[in-house]
Structure 1
Amino acid sequence: MKKKINVALILIVLTVWGLVASKTLKQYFFLDKKTNHTKNYNSNLKINQINKDTFSINHIDRDPFLNKEGGVITSSLAQNTHFKSTIIKKKIIIKHVEILNWPLISYHGYINSKDRKDELLILVNIDKKLHKLKLNVQSEGITVKKVYKDSIEIDFNKEIKIFRLN
């Protein structure tokens, strides 16, 4: 039974490849109609000569992008060209940012209460001291924002980091 199926599949594949080969070879070798691409051209046509278009560029006093009067450029046809430019003053604002380094933090898991479903204690080691933190309660400047099965999200000085389970 398998031999009959294999023979049938081989015949189908050979016919498909035969059709593909005949279509591609037909384009190159079996052209019966020859096309003549000659057109009658009128030799009495005259080509119009196009003259160059010349123009002069004038100075624009208004800045089209900012819609403001820009710097005035005065030019003379003599040797010197003088430029008047506007002076732009920018105010620099320096923000004083207090940089505090993160303490050593390691996450050791959480304790879920069976009696109180809302109470979740998170075991966190902060600077080698074990703390039991609650969700969204601040302790030593550290707030636990989210708790996952294998990690927690901690906020310290408006910076958020994720700590994985040790």
Structure 2
Amino acid sequence: MKKKINIALILVVLTVWGFVASKALSQYFFLDKKTTNNQQFDSRQSINKINKDTFALGNITRDPFLNKESRTYAVATPSKNAYFKKTTIKKEVKPIVVKQKEIINWPQITYHGYINSKDRNGELLILVNVDKKLHKLKLNQQSDGITLKKVYKDSIELDFNREKKIFRIQ
């Protein structure tokens, strides 16, 4: 059954492509013989000239976008002796107060890796050396003012006095 359908589809595709090819090639190979008029050109015949259509544009009194009647204003040309007066506008400039960012001295921190235990449901213990003291931190646990915020494959994010830093394995 499938063979018959495939053969029928192939035949349909071939006929469509054959029709397209015949239409494309007919303009090159199968030229129709056209009858030619053997009339001589008469130079006395006049050629119809097309005159330009000119018209004057008037003032438009209605705005097509706002659908309102527009008004025309007469613009007075300034005289040669009229000068513009220099006006100065004085504004009070308030001084910008820049908040001094508090310099936070981070302790010396090195990240040594993590311990994954199966009996604690996959909870990670992170090994961090803070001022030469080894600490085992869990997620969101605080030790010596340092909080472990995020754990990545090769780094951790620590928070110290609301300032975050990322430390990589050393």
TM-score class, shorter: 0.3 to 0.5
Greater CA radius of gyration, 1 or 2? 2
TM-score with structure 1 setting the length: 0.48
TM-score with structure 2 setting the length: 0.47
